């Protein structure tokens, strides 16, 4: 039995089997690490986008509530809330929302959403409708 495991045979076995296995294991580890990094980057990116969208939604909701309290309710009490006043209230809410967002958030949102103004206009309509139901 000792004749079968001479230093030359052991060296050959290591060279032929173990070294390629180590190479395959290293390749698998690198591949696994890359997949995990990509997954974490995707998760972090999604969380950042969700945080940005939530902040923007809060800003728009705040703008709608503020315009409702300072402009719309006063006109409704006077009985002069008509289509022109409704349009003005919408514009005021949009301007206030854009101001609350700030330039950095507007830039980031434009990258994520594309047409930021259309998104803000839609969100204003959503929050106005929600406030009517309350």
Report the C-alpha gap between 63 and 108 in whole angstroms: 20
Q: Which stretch, 13-17, 114-118, 127-131, has highest mean pLDDT? A: 114-118
pLDDT band for 134, please (50, 70, 90 cuts). Answer: low
Report the C-alpha gap between 30 and 36 in whole angstroms: 10
Sole residue written with tokens 């009490």 = 77
pLDDT of residue 35 exceeding 80:
yes
User: Cα torsion at 22, 28, 31, 35 (round to 10°)?
Assistant: -140
pLDDT of residue 107: 92
pLDDT of residue 50 exceeding 60:
yes
How many C-alpha atoms does 66 have within 13 Å on its Cβ side?
Answer: 15
pLDDT of residue 56: 94
Largest Cα–Cα distance of the chain, in whole Å? 108
pLDDT of residue 4 exceeding 90:
no
């Amino acid at each position: 039995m000792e004749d079968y495991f001479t230093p030359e045979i052991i060296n050959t076995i290591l060279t032929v089997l173990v070294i390629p296995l180590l190479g395959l294991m290293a390749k698998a580890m690198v591949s696994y690490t890359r997949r995990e990094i990509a997954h974490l980057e995707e998760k972090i990116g999604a969380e950042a986008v969700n945080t940005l969208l939530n902040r923007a939604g809060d800003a728009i909701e705040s703008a709608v509530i503020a315009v409702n309290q300072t402009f719309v309710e006063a006109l409704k009490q006077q009985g002069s809330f008509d289509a022109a006043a409704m349009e003005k209230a919408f514009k005021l809410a949009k301007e206030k929302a854009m101001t609350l967002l700030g330039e950095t958030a507007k830039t980031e949102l434009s990258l994520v959403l594309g047409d930021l103004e259309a998104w803000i206009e839609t969100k204003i309509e959503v929050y106005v409708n929600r406030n009517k139901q309350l």
